[in-house]
Amino acid sequence: MKNRMKFIAITSLALVLLAGCSQTTPPSTSADIVLQDGKIYTVNQSAPWAESVAIKDGRIIYVGNDEGMSKFKGDNTRVVSLNGKMVMPGITDTHIHALGTTKPDMCDLDTKPFSLDDMVPLLRNCITQYDIKPGEKLSVLQWSFSVGNQPSAKYPTLRAALDGVSTQHSVILSGDDGHHSAYNSFALSQARDKDGNVNPINKETLKTAYKDYASMISVDAKGEPTGGISETARNLIQSQGMEEFTFADTKSQHLMPRVAKELASVGVTSVFDPFVGESVLGHYDWLEKSGHMTFRARLGLVPDETPWISDPEIPMIPKYVEDFKAKRKRFENSKYVRVDAVKLFADAVLEGNPFTDPPTMPVSAMLNGFLSPQYDFDLEAETLNSLAYIDRNSDVCKSVIQNPEQHSGNAVVEKFRATNGFVPSQCMPYKGILEHQDGYISAFTQQMTDAGFNVHIHAIGDTAVRKAADAFEAAKPSADAQGLSQSIVHMQVIHPDDQKRLGDLGVFASFTFLWNRPEVEYDLMVVPFIDEVETIEDMYSMDNYYIQNVYPAKSLIDHGAIVMGGSDAPVGSRDPLTFASIEQAISRSNGQFILNPDERIDIHQAIAAYTINGAKFFGNEDNLGTIETGKLADLIVLDRNIVELAESGYEAAVEIAHTQVEMTIFDGKIIYEMSGE
């Protein structure tokens, strides 16, 4: 039977966000809503389960058994019989780009993988469907950068494929991770240099005007761009590479009601949105003033302009502080929106590209640097034939490293390749890069903390995590004195020493647990650059540094860090997929491989990551995160008992991923119900 979603808009007469606890309602007072005959998972360790809950004026006035509930029923009480269904606190998503959770009416690949041959006709159709005139831009959302994209004789690179779509339009693929993009030749020709002049991205300008961005731009053996560009290098073509990712240029009245409806339907009642400039801020302002807010929000501010990569950065921080203070002040009387956090990118992304020749190296930094793998794919069979590695200690590579200028130029490179089977650039040692100049991460963290902001750092590689830990340690006295949280997100690889440091510092660590799942196509973009492996199975060996230290959630908990859950939607999916993430937090398995079984957490720790730990991150654990008398009534009803499933073994636990939210209560009001028809 097809499900029909019923969305009920709340009015603006809601309780003040994060208000202090009120007096418990006298037992004789009739409740507004009663949930009875259920499995109420309270996330309160002293009393983890109950049968019923009573709600009045936005707060919980009773948690207990059905017999005790009877005194709270009145003539106007809505009584909901749960028939044994599970209730838990509303979801707090601690890393979500909420505006991107809805699907716009524009060209969209919806994170589905396509070979380059299959992609071309789809994108040509978009030009026709959306009547895009020559000279205009075709923007394509939710491109799956990590799965698919297999080249062919006709389209050996992304650039060639996008040129096959059009040579008269700028064709731009926006990756579903918010960090990768791809461009055709027309778009590359529209790049602008530091002086604002049109200056195409090509082999020559990558050595001159754009040399600081070269590591973020994929090239072939001859040094010509192959279409892939990541991180801030995208700003050479687009003024802000993240604008379309967050739909910042869509009108609020068209966008925000859909965002509110979407979050309510999946049980998200609190969010931390970590990438907020002026345009996104305006959308949140509009939603709250509309009276249709269905969630509480903390916003992480970012500068509205990205400086040129070679410009001095540290002198800009005081300007950012003043701008952020002004934005914070605008929302100081807000009921539901707190503008008290800032976001900093310490590094970029950890994926290389095996399909380019030579393979494009990862961008983010690793303490021990990267290996130089050689992939041999059978593209028709979509299998990996073999993996080999360049020996950088060989006499050939030593010669290249000592005399790189003697190994450049097309003729020299081709002769070198014919003799050695690889190109000279593959000999060069490479450790990746950080997003900022030396000293900036610590200076930014300290100055923002001193200004009263909660600092949230994006760190993926182990170098960036270490830099974040250094910055947090230096700023901790100021943060503790003001009651501020220090938080870090992603942490794909953490050196063991820094796992302990983050725990000792009591850092809030936000994981997208869905990424704990082994994905062979994705892992081929990462593991062979870090550990020397020969087969697919080798990638998941516990002997690998990567596997030992990938997303180490259990270790962080054991060391004292506060682990939280964040979807990073629309990265990978517009749906936050909270319950699929919870399933992966406890299994870390795809049914064939396990991504380090020692880092699995239990169901109680996983639920805490999306409830009470998020409330602590907001500094609001007295009001949210557990189901207790006196707390705000943000609750969800599930169609299955995820605790029982988790405790019944792997085959049962996989069903957690399919959990549906049947009801969402926000501020004591039912804002979403699912019913069959």
Cite the residue boundaries of each domain of the chain with CATH code 2.30.40.10.
Answer: 3-89+630-676
- What pLDDT does residue 242 have? 55
* Percent of the chain with pLDDT strictly greater than 70: 94
pLDDT tens-digit series, residues 158-172: 999 999 999 999 999
> Given a cut of 80, is residue 196 above it in pLDDT?
yes
Whether the per-residue pLDDT at 38 is higher than 70: the answer is: yes
pLDDT digits (tens, 9 = 90+) for 180-195: 899 999 999 999 999 9
CATH 3.10.310.70 domain residues, the chain: 105-236
The model's pLDDT over 629-653, given as tens digits with 9 standing for 90+, comes to 999 999 999 999 999 999 999 899 9
Residue scoring higher pLDDT (105 or 219): 219
The 10s digit of each residue's pLDDT in 249-304 is: 678 998 999 999 999 999 999 999 999 999 899 999 999 999 999 999 999 999 98
Give the residue, 217 or 12, on which the prediction is more confident. 217
Residue 13's pLDDT band (cuts 50, 70, 90): very low
Check whether 245 has a pLDDT greater than 80: no
- Predicted pLDDT at 253: 92
Q: What is the pLDDT of residue 29?
A: 78
For residue range 582-617, list pLDDT tens digits in order. 999 999 999 999 999 999 999 999 999 999 999 999
Model confidence pLDDT, tens digit, residues 59-103 = 999 999 999 999 999 999 999 999 999 999 999 999 999 999 998
Give the bridge partners for 344, in sequence order: 457
Instruction: Tell me the average pLDDT across 198-226.
Output: 93
CA angle 554/556/558 to nearest 5° reads 70
Those residues whose C-beta lies under 8 Å from the C-beta of residue 123, and which sit 6 or more positions away, are 107, 138, 140, 162, 165, 171
Average pLDDT value for residue range 135-143: 92
At residue 329, does pLDDT exceed 90?
A: yes
Residue 527 zone, left/alpha/beta (φ > 0; ψ -120 to 50; rest): alpha
User: Torsions phi, psi of 427, nearest 5?
Assistant: -80, -20
Whether 527 contacts 539, CB under 8 Å: yes
CATH 2.30.40.10 fits 3-89+630-676, yes or no: yes
Q: What is the mean pLDDT of the chain?
A: 92
**Residues written for the chain:** 677
Report the CATH architecture of 105-236: Roll (3.10)
244 pLDDT above the threshold of 60: no
Please check the confidence at residue 28 and state whether its pLDDT lies above 60. Answer: no
Residue type, 613: N
What is d(CA 128, CA 123) in angstroms, rounded to the nearest whole number? 9
Is 3.20.20.140 the CATH number for 252-347+434-617? yes
* CA 169 – CA 405 distance, rounded (Å): 37
CATH 3.20.20.140 boundaries in the chain: 252-347+434-617
pTM for the model:
0.89
Query: Can you give the pLDDT at residue 2?
Result: 38
pLDDT at residue 249, as a whole number: 61
Give residue 577's pLDDT.
97
Q: pLDDT-based confidence at 14, cuts 50/70/90?
A: very low
Mean pLDDT along residues 92-117: 92
Mean pLDDT of all residues in 212-228 = 91
To the nearest 10 degrees (0 to 180), the angle between helices 116-129 and 158-165 is 30
Predicted local confidence at residue 248, as pLDDT: 54
